[in-house]
């Protein structure tokens, strides 16, 4: 079983959506299905941003479900070879990751941390994830955070 762990950091929901659009669009164009596990509904903001930035080309991005979901959804949906975008409180994200980890299926997990939420545990968050996603795509943590040195293994966050 292979799980790719990605993370990103955002200021607010609109910033998250705007920042992730190019990355999600790229993954969709690579035939990767995107599943969102969101504690809060971002559908209104996503529709507004996608229509303004992408116009009619954003049809596939609008098909991504930006509504909030109960964590039980993770037990019911097919996650094999999917990109799973997780955003919410620390507890919500931890529980979502535990459910995903317990499933013996290959997938990519993109954990999205609100800046104030992730700033306290930045070292641990970066240690747990393989790469950081930002407007320029996937980068190693060392490429994004000057002076970052991996200190512990990935299993620590769960």
Provide the pLDDT for residue 1.
Answer: 56
What is 3-157's CATH topology? Rossmann fold (3.40.50)
Residue 60: CA count within 13 A, CB half-sphere: 15
* Phi, psi (rounded to 5 degrees) for 3: -120, 120
- pLDDT, one tens digit per residue, over 83-119 is 999 999 999 999 999 999 999 899 999 999 998 876 6
* Residue 112 in tokens: 């999205």
- pLDDT, one tens digit per residue, over 126-136 is 999 999 999 88
- pLDDT, one tens digit per residue, over 21-66 is 889 989 998 999 999 999 999 988 888 888 777 665 666 776 788 8
78: left (phi over 0), alpha (psi -120 to 50) or beta: beta
Provide the pLDDT for residue 116.
Answer: 81
Provide the pLDDT for residue 118.
Answer: 61
Helices (H) and strands (E) in the chain, counts: 8, 6
- Strand pairing partners for 113? 9
Indicate the helix (H) or strand (E) that contains 141: helix 141-144
Provide the pLDDT for residue 46.
Answer: 86
Provide the pLDDT for residue 156.
Answer: 45
- In the chain, the DSSP E strands lie at 3-10, 34-38, 83-87, 107-114, 131-134, 137-139
| Spatial contact of 96 and 86, defined as CB atoms under 8 Å apart | yes
Residue 152 pLDDT level (bands cut at 50, 70, 90): low
């Amino acid at each position: 079983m292979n799980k790719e762990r990605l993370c990103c950091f955002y200021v607010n929901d609109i910033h998250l959506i705007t920042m992730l659009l190019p990355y999600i669009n790229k993954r969709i164009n690579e035939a990767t299905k995107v599943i969102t596990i969101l504690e809060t509904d971002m559908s209104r903001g996503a529709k507004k941003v996608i229509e303004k930035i992408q116009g009619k080309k954003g049809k596939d991005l609008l098909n991504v479900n930006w509504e909030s979901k109960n964590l039980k959804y993770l037990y019911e949906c097919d996650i094999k070879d999917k990109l799973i975008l997780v955003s919410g409180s620390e507890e919500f994200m931890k529980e979502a990751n535990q459910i995903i980890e317990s499933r013996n299926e290959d997938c990519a997990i993109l954990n999205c941390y609100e800046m104030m939420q992730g700033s306290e545990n930045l070292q641990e968050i970066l240690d747990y994830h393989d790469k950081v996603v930002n407007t320029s795509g996937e980068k190693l943590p060392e490429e994004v955070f000057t002076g970052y040195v991996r200190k512990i293994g990935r299993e620590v966050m769960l």
